[in-house]
Structure 1
């Protein structure tokens, strides 16, 4: 996405922090919660404008968080580890399974600029004309617009939480002038929230945005530091294709050695080297079928 870079973001230590009055406020009325959600989104907008933040990686990690929330909504047991395995350990011709499909939908939705065509690729079961109609149903500003889209989809297509939440985040991104969808609404919702309607529903959406924006800002700062370290150690890597491999780590939540543009043994050695340098982490705790991420 394209933002103007704030002048005060030349150093990682000066990435703007979410104000304490946003993170600690306990607003109860719709008016007060709407004010706080707007403040949280404005701050997130500033943080996303910092060139130090690896935006594609942040969106991919938030997509995992959104997919995990959707698993909880549907009563399924899969969490982050299982979702990563379902998608990142697939071989050509494999199917991701229901949980993997949800995770893929979120990754695809967040991975391309927001358009009806891109959303259709993320949600192949929904026809483009319906996607366009649902997004256009949004009224009001920012969160109110997203909440209208979410409520409309859930009313017309009950139990379609994944398309509803993706399209609501798309409407929010458009309202904010963002090029890409940033997964926010799903992770901040409770299962019971999705059954609410009217002001209660909008109140839940505002609260979801506040909590998710706070977490997104925290993750942005953490990933900015980690990405800076990975870039700093990259010149020490001698393997052919190491530069392309580093770029993959800077844009993906998790990477399997087999996905790297190196022979299998060289890919595993590169991952071990990056772990030794503290630039990436092994995510599974396994001795085989490992996944790595910043």
Structure 2
């Protein structure tokens, strides 16, 4: 191992870990769960500020997680692998289906900086004026604001779970000063939670965000290590366009060889080479129509 590699891994070791008392504490009152969610969000905020963390890739992975949770909440059976196929193997003119649309909505929600226009792109069926009104519904502390937005959307449109959760996460991001939506609420809420209102819904949101912030922190640390490994093997890649291909892997959850800036055969060889080096993983387990990711 070179000294440069040692220094880089040492840098990764300084990524702050979530305190054990956040993950182990049990609480029942709104005050207690609010304290824990604030601690978890504060810790995640520190992690998101570290340059070692591949921010775009982290948001993509969290978007997939949120989409899977929303699909489950709707009673559908599609899971992460199927959602990846629906979107990444989509051909021009094909429709992604309801589950694929949910995944696309979350992906679009995290792609651009938070704004009414960007959220309108993620939620084309919702009027921009309505999006602005709902986002302005919340006030107070960040998670209180997010819970009020969630409450407002579901009260007015009880079946609009996906828009409600996206807008609640957007309100949370704005309140915390984050540039982009970081999906947290959907993965931590149960279907019964979405029927709650007022303080009961806020309580559920605090618990959901605590659990999701813990998982997001773990994912951020893991992706930082994987990204460092990919960057470390990049100089060994001789294919023309390999550098641009590495950047694609560092920003996208799953990549089909055909999406890389290389001829088809060269792209497939590069993916196989990266798998052999342990820098990326084949995500499908198939012999054809494969997808790869960090």
Q: Which runs of 5+ in 1 are unaligned?
A: 1-8
SS in structure 2 of the partner of residue 186 of structure 1: helix
Worse-superposed segment, 92-101 or 155-164: 92-101
Pairing 1:178-257 to 2, within 5 Å after superposition:
178-257=178-257
Match of 2:167?
A: 167
Say if 2:263 is the partner of 1:271. no
Question: Does 1:79 find its partner at 2:115?
Answer: no
Matched position secondary structure for 1:163: helix
Equivalent residue number for residue 5 of structure 2: none
Counterpart residue number, 2:97: 97
SS at 2:186's partner residue? coil
Secondary structure of residue in 1 paired with 2:62: helix
More displaced 10-residue stretch of structure 1: 65-74 or 195-204: 195-204
- Residue 110 of structure 2 corresponds to residue 110 of structure 1: yes
Q: TM-score, normalised by structure 2?
A: 0.96
Over residues 239-288 of structure 1, what are the superposed CA-to-partner deviations in whole Å (9 max), with x where a residue is unaligned?
11111110010001100111111111111100000000000000000000
SS at match of 1:83: helix
Q: Distance in 2 between matches of 1:93 and 1:227?
A: 34
Counterpart CA distance in 2 for 1:14 and 1:181 is 25
Secondary structure of the corresponding residue to residue 17 of structure 2 = coil
Deviations 1:32-58 (A, max 9, x none): 000110010000000001100000000
Cα distance, 1:238 vs structure 2: 0.9
Partner in structure 1 of residue 66 of structure 2: 66
Residue 23 of structure 2 corresponds to 23
Q: 2: distance between equivalents of 1:99 and 1:289?
A: 20
* SS of residue in 2 equivalent to 1:53: coil
Please report how far the alpha carbon of residue 139 of structure 1 lies from its aligned counterpart in structure 2 after TM superposition: 1.8
Q: Deviations over 1:89-148 (max 9, x none)?
A: 011222111111100100110111000000000000001100000000012111100000
C-alpha deviation, 1:10, in angstroms: 7.1
The number of residues matched between the two structures is 286
- Mapped to 2, the partners of 1:221 and 1:250 lie a distance apart of 14
Could you tell me how far apart the structure 1 residues matched to 2:201 and 2:180 are?
Answer: 25
- Residues in 2 aligned to 1:23 and 1:71: alpha-carbon distance in whole angstroms: 26
**SS of equivalent to 1:149:** helix
Counterpart in the other structure of 1:6? none
Alpha-carbon distance, 1:292 to partner:
0.3
**How far apart, CA to CA, are the structure 2 residues paired with 1:245 and 1:155?**
45
Alignment RMSD? 0.9
Unaligned runs of 5+ in 2: 1-8
Aligned to 1:5: none
Classify the secondary structure of the residue corresponding to 1:173.
helix
Cα distance in structure 2, aligned partners of 1:249 and 1:191: 34
1:57 match:
57
| Alignment partner, residue 258 of structure 1 | 258
Aligned to 1:289: 289
Q: TM-score, normalised by structure 1?
A: 0.96
Residues 61-113 of structure 1 deviation map (CA, whole Å, 9 limit, x = unaligned): 00000000001110000000010000000112221111111001001101110
